[in-house]
Structure formats: C-alpha cells, structure tokens
C-alpha cells in the first residue's frame, strides 16, 4: 500500500504476458466464511483469507463478540485463520463494534448480534452512517430482535438486542415475503443466521432478486458449512433448515472483482495476455462473468474450471449490458469503454448510488475529466470516447472508494497523464494492488 496523496500511472511500454496465481482471496467469500466459521460447531481452518481493511473489520468484530480467532500471514494480503465456532450463539452479552466502511461486516454482524442477548452497538464511518440498513432491521425485527437506531433513522449506528426472555423465535420457523431492496447483503445477512434459528426460515421474493449472484454465493457457501438450503429453480424462494453449521477446512478463492482490473488491462492493450489462476467456471462469484463482457467487446477469452484468460484485441467495440446482478463490475467496464469504438451502455445499476460513495455520480465526473461523453438516464449509464484510447490528462478523485482507484488506474496504463488521488484507499479490499499492477511492467 502507498501512503502518497497521489500516484501518477505510467503507460505500459509494451504488451504484457502475465499469469497471476496468487491473487488475494475474495472479500465477499472471506467475510461470509469468517462468520459461518464463528457460528459453526467446532473449529474451522480457513486459508487464502483476504487481509484487507474490510476483512480486518470483520475479524475485529468477531473478536469483540467473544469468538476465539487466531491468524497468521500466508503471503501478500492473505491470511490463514482458525476460528473456534460457538454453535450459533454470541459468546459475550454486550459489545461495541466499530466497523469502518465495511458494508458486509456491518450488515452481517448486525444480523449475527440478534443471536445474543445484547446490547451490542454497531457503528462505522461517517459514510457508513449514510448507508441504508433499514430494510435489514425490519427483517430482523420480524425475527423478534429489538433494534434501535441511535442516529439517522434507517442507518447506523445501531443498538441490537436479540434473544432476551420472551423474544424466542417460534420453533416452527419463520416465513418472509420480501420485496427486493437496494442491497443483496440484507438477504445474505438474514440467510447467514438462519441455521442458528429454531426451525430455520423460508423466504419468498416478491420480484427479481437484486444482485442475485451474491445471494447464490451465500447459499452455496452455507451448504459447504453443512447448512440445509433449498432454493426454487428460479430463486423465487429459499428455505433454510435450523440444523446449524459444522466446522470445515476451506480455501477462499481469488477475488473475481479484483481480478477484473488485470483482465481489463489486457483488454485495453492490444496483444496483451492475462491469465488468472484459481478462478474460473466453478467459481462461486458472479463477477467471474466479467470475461464474458470482454469477449463481447472483442477480446479473446479462454476459461476452465480454475482459470480465466483474456487477450486484448486490436480494437474494442462498445456493448449494451445489464449489470444489475454484478454492479461491482461497473467501474471497470466503464474504463474499458474509454478504449472502445461506439457507446457502451451499462444498465440497471441504480444501487451504485449507495455504495462506498455515489458511484454513479463519481463515474460521471471522472470519466468526463478524461474526455468521455457520459450520460446518466435513471439507472443507466452511457459512455462513449470521443476518440477511443485518446484521453485527456486528469487527476482522478477516488472518493475514498477502492474501486474508483483500481479501475481508473487501468486507463493510465494506456494513456499518459492519469494520476490517482488517495491511492491508499485500495487497502479496503486489496492493499497490495499497486505491487500487483507493477507485475504488468515486468
């Protein structure tokens, strides 16, 4: 990680040919696996766990809740972690959790706190205090939790009280009819605690599930920890039994969202090749589909069960794509669009407005700095380069958003004059990003 206030990105001198076999683990899988291990019966051994600000917030939160957690370094941004589970109960009766801007940690641990008596206080950064959590609180209150907003209604900080006398969950289980909300993390949070509830839960969705791949990821990982999960073929409903979790040994797969930056770098560099190992057709992460979008733009793409490879074409073409299911790819694809002929339309990504920053507004501002034509129509974003690959020099504001920094650095690999402000913000999910990016120069 760099402590500099700005980082000029030097363009590549030639196409690269790189295989990355040690990409740090998925943030999404890491924070899910850490909580599942804590809720399991027995001791879990987790490897390739992501070491970043988000995952450290989760580790700290679990420790403050009384779970026995030990870890050691396993390489750049990777940890080996042992977690002694407590069979679906919170070991301590009260705690204060300061979780920064880690959305998964805030949402998942808020749900987990309902499994103990409380009070538990859950808080974060000023930006986290603006991010919605009300829909999750409504679901948890229907499961007999007692939750109070301590500041702005619908947002952290929160005080959570769970299974006090008289608040026991009905042994027959709970049934929910859920209208899709701004964040799939609300659904994942409820699912993650379901096996610890007597009788489990059943969820029926009144409409399409937002960011469905993340809900599917949650369900599949729960199954690996021994949970009983049944989903309708169209994912219009999910049933989870109340039989608890079992401790396992689990290796976290590489982060598909973070892999997208290196695949994008190959895409915008004619004849460059990037291969990511440990990530492929068998991945639990929906963001692995980024390679499919690059193929539609003209890249040569090869995938297997445990690898994905992209080779950059002589010319890229714009595409029209719906990223509602995988919104974390929007920033990366927007930067690739700067090098494509014709417009790229990214549809149905309104939830970008409630991420680490308002990513819709941030993308519009920073893409325009580089000379692109940008239009926002409702939840759709259209990007077109005035002359593909010919960008204006610009200092890119990152808004304390790791994905803004990582995505826009790709533009600087091909066009001179791109400087990333606050490059250290990548520590949220990928502290060694700049060192990994330098591998493309070797």
Instruction: Express each pLDDT in 316-372 by its tens digit.
Output: 999 999 999 899 999 999 999 999 999 999 999 988 887 878 999 999 999 999 999
Cβ-contact 144, 199 below 8 angstroms: no
Residue with tokens 């793409």: 301
Reported confidence tier of residue 143, pLDDT bands at 50, 70, 90: confident
- Mean pLDDT to the nearest integer, 288-308: 97
Would the pLDDT of 238 be above 80?
Answer: yes
**Prediction pTM value:** 0.89
- Mean pLDDT to the nearest integer, 30-51: 97
Q: Classify 15 as helix, strand or coil.
A: coil
Q: Report the percent of the chain where pLDDT is more than 90.
A: 84
Q: Report the percent of the chain where pLDDT is more than 70.
A: 96
Would the pLDDT of 250 be above 80?
Answer: yes
Q: What is the pLDDT of residues 2-12, one digit of tens each?
A: 668 999 999 99
Most confident of 102-106, 283-287, 314-318, 352-356: 314-318
Reported confidence tier of residue 177, pLDDT bands at 50, 70, 90: confident
* CA 231 to each of CA 183, 194, 228: distance values in angstroms, whole numbers, following the listed order: 19, 14, 10
Under CATH, what is the fold of the domain 27-233?
Answer: UDP-n-acetylglucosamine1-carboxyvinyl-transferase; Chain (3.65.10)
Q: Which residues are catalytic?
A: 328
- Mean pLDDT to the nearest integer, 400-410: 96
Under CATH, what is the fold of the domain 6-23+254-441?
Answer: UDP-n-acetylglucosamine1-carboxyvinyl-transferase; Chain (3.65.10)
Spans of all domains in the chain: 6-23+254-441, 27-233
Q: How many CB atoms lie within 10 A of CB 352?
A: 22
What is the predicted pLDDT for the residue at 433? Answer: 97
Would the pLDDT of 23 be above 80?
Answer: yes
Reported confidence tier of residue 436, pLDDT bands at 50, 70, 90: very high
Range from 207-211, 311-315, 396-400, 413-417 carrying the lowest mean pLDDT: 207-211
What is the predicted pLDDT for the residue at 180? Answer: 66
Q: Classify 9 as helix, strand or coil.
A: strand
d(CA 32, CA 189): 9
3-state helix, strand, coil in the chain (%, to 5): 35, 25, 40
Higher pLDDT, 78 or 144: 78
Q: Tell me the average pLDDT of the chain.
A: 93
In this chain, the answer to whether the domains covering 6-23+254-441 and 27-233 adopt an identical fold is yes
What is the predicted pLDDT for the residue at 171? Answer: 46
Cβ-contact 270, 312 below 8 angstroms: yes
What is the predicted pLDDT for the residue at 194? Answer: 96
């Amino acid at each position: 990680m760099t402590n500099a206030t700005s980082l000029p990105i030097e363009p590549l001198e030639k196409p690269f040919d790189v295989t990355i076999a040690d990409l740090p683990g998925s943030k999404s899988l890491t924070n899910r696996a850490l909580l599942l291990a804590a809720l399991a019966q027995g001791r879990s051994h987790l490897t390739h766990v992501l070491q970043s600000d988000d995952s450290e917030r989760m580790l700290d939160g679990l420790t403050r809740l009384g779970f026995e957690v030990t870890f050691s370094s396993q390489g750049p941004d990777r940890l080996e972690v042992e977690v002694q589970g407590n069979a679906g109960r919170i070991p301590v009766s009260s705690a204060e959790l300061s979780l920064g801007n880690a959305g998964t940690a805030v949402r998942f641990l808020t749900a987990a706190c309902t499994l103990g008596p409380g009070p538990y206080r859950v808080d974060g950064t000023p930006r986290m205090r603006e991010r919605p959590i009300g829909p999750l609180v409504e679901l948890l209150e229907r499961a007999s939790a007692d939750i109070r907003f301590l500041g702005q209604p619908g947002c952290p900080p929160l005080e959570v009280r769970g299974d006090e006398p008289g608040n026991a969950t009905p042994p027959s289980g709970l049934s929910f009819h859920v209208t899709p909300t701004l964040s799939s993390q609300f659904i994942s949070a409820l699912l993650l605690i379901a096996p610890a509830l007597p009788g489990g839960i059943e969820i029926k969705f009144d409409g399409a599930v937002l960011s469905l791949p993340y809900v599917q990821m949650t369900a599949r990982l729960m199954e690996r920890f021994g949970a009983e999960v049944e989903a309708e073929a169209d994912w219009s409903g999910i049933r989870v039994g109340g039989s608890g979790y079992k401790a396992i040994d689990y290796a976290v797969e590489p982060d598909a969202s973070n892999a997208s930056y290196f695949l994008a770098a190959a895409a915008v560099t004619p004849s460059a090749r990037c291969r990511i190992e440990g990530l492929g057709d068998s991945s639990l992460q929906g963001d692995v589909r980024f390679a499919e979008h690059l193929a539609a733009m003209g890249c040569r793409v090869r995938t297997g069960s445990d690898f994905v490879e992209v080779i950059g074409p002589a010319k890229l073409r714009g595409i029209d794509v719906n990223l509602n299911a995988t919104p974390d790819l929007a920033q990366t694809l927007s930067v690739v669009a700067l090098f494509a002929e014709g417009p790229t339309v990214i549809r149905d990504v309104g939830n970008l407005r409630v991420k680490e920053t308002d990513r819709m507004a941030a993308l519009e501002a920073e893409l325009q700095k580089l000379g692109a034509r940008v239009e926002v129509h409702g939840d759709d974003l259209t990007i077109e380069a005035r002359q593909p690959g010919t960008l204006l020099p610009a200092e890119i504001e990152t808004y304390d958003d790791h994905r803004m920094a990582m995505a826009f650095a790709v533009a600087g690999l091909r066009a001179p004059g791109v400087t990333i402000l606050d490059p250290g913000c990548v520590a949220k999910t990928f502290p060694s990003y700049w060192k990994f990016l330098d591998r493309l120069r070797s």
